[in-house]
Amino acid sequence: MRNVAATAAIVATALACASATAGAAGTSDDAQAQATNIDGRTIQESGPLEDSLLDFVQRASSPDESELGTACFNGRTDGSRNFYLTCDSHTYPVYVDCTDGRHEFRRSYSGRWDFRLTCPAGTRAVWGGSWFGHA
């Protein structure tokens, strides 16, 4: 009987870990981010759709805009699912506005990073930048 209980505990732990790993990878409704810093380090993460009005966002400047003091610049879309930007500041997370709404990425970056933010399949990238607000 003790072996059955031990086996059940192992199976339950394995299922919980598999479930947590699947959730960490995001869903097909999440946007995806790929960030690369000047040292070549790359980070990938998922960004869920957000509906909060409590966030403050700062849109990335396009190459033709001259916003002084902006943390994110060189903002551009490829006309499809991708939005590209560069950010250089202390602590900041990024977001992408897609045709289905705003997707916020929870990781805080520091220093200079180049981003490719990809909207979910069936949507298009509108713009993006950095944000702060609820956590």
13 pLDDT band, cuts 50/70/90, is very low
Domain ranges of the chain: 29-132
Q: What percent of the chain has pLDDT over 70?
A: 70
Q: Which two tokens stand for residue 33?
A: 């981010």
Q: Identify any residues that bridge with 56 across adjacent strands, giving them in sequence order.
A: 132
56 pLDDT band, cuts 50/70/90, is confident
**Which of 51, 76, 81 lies closest to 128, judged by CA?**
76
Dist CA 133 CA 56 (whole Å): 6
- Give pTM, 2 decimals: 0.73
Find the mean pLDDT for residues 68-81. 85
- The mean pLDDT of the chain is 78
